[in-house]
């Protein structure tokens, strides 16, 4: 039998290892790219049918499905004292942009008038509209550039919420928070009242203790039978009482 050289042996060992990795996912080296990065190693549209590619046959369809559609959050800020026609026109333009990009609307939340922390283009109040859209990530850039062009839009932001994010409509929660929250002056009032109440309660307790102590100290001493008898005799013999 022909002896293998050291180089041939090393190459053969490497090929065996690669084959084993392809067949068994648990042999995957932790420092290598995980399967969630297909755009880096296996770009879309490329055919990878080699046995070394673990994503070739089985999970490539799954990754394609995951990439095609994702839910993104689009928040748009419009100025608040805005004409109804202008506002409708702006909202229509935004929605046509989403339609052209092939987005599917998941939710729409219109906040109404909200005060801004600083004036934006001369406006101190704004109207927020928050959309959640299912859209292809490849078309995000187009939507972003198109939203910058729409007249009337002051700000817009695109955020990718994490997995398991529950879409919450903040408009209702904010109104409730406004009603429930107390201003600084009300807070100081409430704190003062509680302090006064605590002081009054402590004073009342001290007074009760004092009265109890006074009662126990002033309690008369028990008299003996002889003394009681003598006093009774005195009372009976006293003619002025008329007993």
Partner 1 sequence: MRNAQSQKKRPDLRSKECCFCEKETVYLDWKDYPTLKPHVDYFGAVRKRFLTGVCLRHQKMLRIAIERARFMGMLAYRK
Residues that bind partner 1 (CB under 8 A): 75, 77, 114, 116-118, 120, 126, 128, 130, 154-155, 157, 159, 161-162, 164-165, 168, 170, 173-174, 177, 181
Tokens standing for residue 223: 């008299």
Q: 3-state DSSP call for residue 109?
A: strand
Q: How many CB atoms lie within 10 A of CB 196?
A: 10
d(CA 209, CA 15): 92
The least distance separating partner 1 from the CB of residue 156, rounded to whole angstroms, comes to: 9
The least distance separating partner 1 from the CB of residue 170, rounded to whole angstroms, comes to: 5
The H-assigned helical ranges of 121-165 are: 140-149
The least distance separating partner 1 from the CB of residue 157, rounded to whole angstroms, comes to: 6
The least distance separating partner 1 from the CB of residue 174, rounded to whole angstroms, comes to: 7
The least distance separating partner 1 from the CB of residue 72, rounded to whole angstroms, comes to: 14
| Distance in Å from the first CA to the final CA of the chain | 146
d(CA 121, CA 144): 20
Three-class SS of 2-39 = CCCCHHHHHHHHHHHHHHHHHHCHHHCCCCCCCCCCHH
Which of 26/118 has CB closer to partner 1?
118
Q: Which of 75, 98, 72, 76 is nearest to 151 (CA)?
A: 76
Which of 28/123 has CB closer to partner 1?
123
Which of 31/117 has CB closer to partner 1?
117
Which of 38/132 has CB closer to partner 1?
132
Which of 56/154 has CB closer to partner 1?
154
């Amino acid at each position: 039998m022909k002896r293998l050289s050291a180089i041939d042996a090393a190459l053969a060992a490497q090929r065996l290892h690669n084959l084993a990795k392809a067949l068994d996912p648990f042999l995957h080296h932790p420092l290598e790219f995980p399967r969630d990065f297909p755009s880096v190693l296996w770009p879309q549209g490329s055919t990878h049918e080699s046995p070394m590619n673990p994503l070739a046959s089985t999970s490539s369809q799954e990754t394609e499905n995951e990439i095609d559609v994702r839910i993104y959050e689009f928040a748009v800020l419009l100025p608040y004292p805005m004409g109804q026609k202008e506002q409708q026109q702006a909202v229509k333009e935004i929605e046509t942009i989403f339609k052209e990009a092939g987005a599917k609307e998941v939710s729409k939340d219109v906040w109404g008038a909200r005060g801004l922390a600083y004036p934006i283009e001369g406006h101190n109040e704004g109207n927020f509209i928050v959309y959640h859209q299912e859209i292809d990530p490849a078309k995000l850039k187009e939507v972003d550039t198109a939203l910058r062009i729409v007249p009337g839009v002051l700000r817009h932001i695109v955020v990718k919420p994490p997995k398991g994010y529950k879409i919450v409509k903040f408009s209702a929660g904010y109104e409730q928070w406004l009603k429930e929250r107390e201003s600084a002056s009300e807070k100081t009032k409430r704190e003062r009242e509680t302090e006064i109440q605590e002081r009054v309660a402590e004073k009342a307790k001290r007074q009760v203790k004092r009265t109890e102590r006074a009662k126990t100290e002033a309690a008369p001493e028990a008299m003996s039978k002889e003394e009681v008898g003598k006093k009774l005799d005195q009372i009976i013999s006293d003619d002025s009482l008329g007993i």
